């Protein structure tokens, strides 16, 4: 949407909705062979009745392992060049041709969004939204090293 077309004060919203991470998800979500699994809304409410969801309200996982090599190459290049100041980088690693980035969006001492981006031969994008305490992430990491 053109910035001049927005009412005054709405430009920030348009800029936010067009972050490079969000654009990465949009650009590759509908590629042939891409698999998307999403759990949100009613399913998360149902899950809360059986387990502590640690403040998670929505999870989306995109797997690109079944995509053709051209799609994987474009995605890997997009991951390599990804820079997004609206997220804080928690982890960025590159090992044996596989690149992984873990990004977070924090507001009022809570993780509102956690993004895991993995490149290589079996690339994947994961988006977790919610109202998550950082210590809950730490405890999950300790439980599942």
- E strand map for 43-87: 56-63
Per-residue three-class SS string for 26-39: HHHCCCCCCEEEEE
| Predicted pLDDT of residue 47 | 67
Count of structural domains, the chain: 1
Instruction: Tell me, yes or no, whether 114 lies in a domain.
Output: yes
**pLDDT tens column, 89-113:** 988 988 888 889 999 999 999 999 9
Within a domain: 9: no
Instruction: Inform me whether the pLDDT recorded for 18 exceeds 90.
Output: no
User: Span 12-23, mean pLDDT?
Assistant: 69
Query: Is 10 a member of any domain?
Result: no
Mean pLDDT of 56-65: 91
> Residue 16 pLDDT > 60, yes or no?
no
Domain that holds residue 30: 16-143
Structure-token pair, residue 23: 């654009």
Q: Find residue 111's DSSP bridge partners.
A: 106, 132
Q: Which residue has the higher pLDDT, 13 or 46?
A: 46
């Amino acid at each position: 949407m053109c910035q001049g077309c927005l009412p005054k004060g709405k430009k920030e919203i348009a800029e936010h909705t067009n972050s490079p991470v969000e654009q990465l998800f949009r650009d590759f979500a509908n590629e042939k062979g891409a698999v998307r699994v999403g759990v949100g809304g009613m399913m998360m409410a149902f899950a809360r009745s059986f387990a502590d969801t640690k403040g998670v309200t929505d999870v989306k996982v995109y797997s690109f392992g079944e995509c053709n090599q051209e799609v994987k190459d474009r995605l890997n290049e997009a991951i390599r060049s990804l820079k997004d100041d609206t997220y804080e980088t928690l982890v960025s690693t590159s090992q044996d041709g596989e690149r992984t980035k873990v990004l977070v969006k924090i507001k009022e001492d809570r993780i509102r969004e956690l993004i895991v981006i993995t490149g290589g031969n079996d690339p994947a994008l994961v988006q977790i939204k919610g109202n998550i305490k950082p210590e809950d992430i730490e405890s999950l990491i300790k439980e599942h090293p």
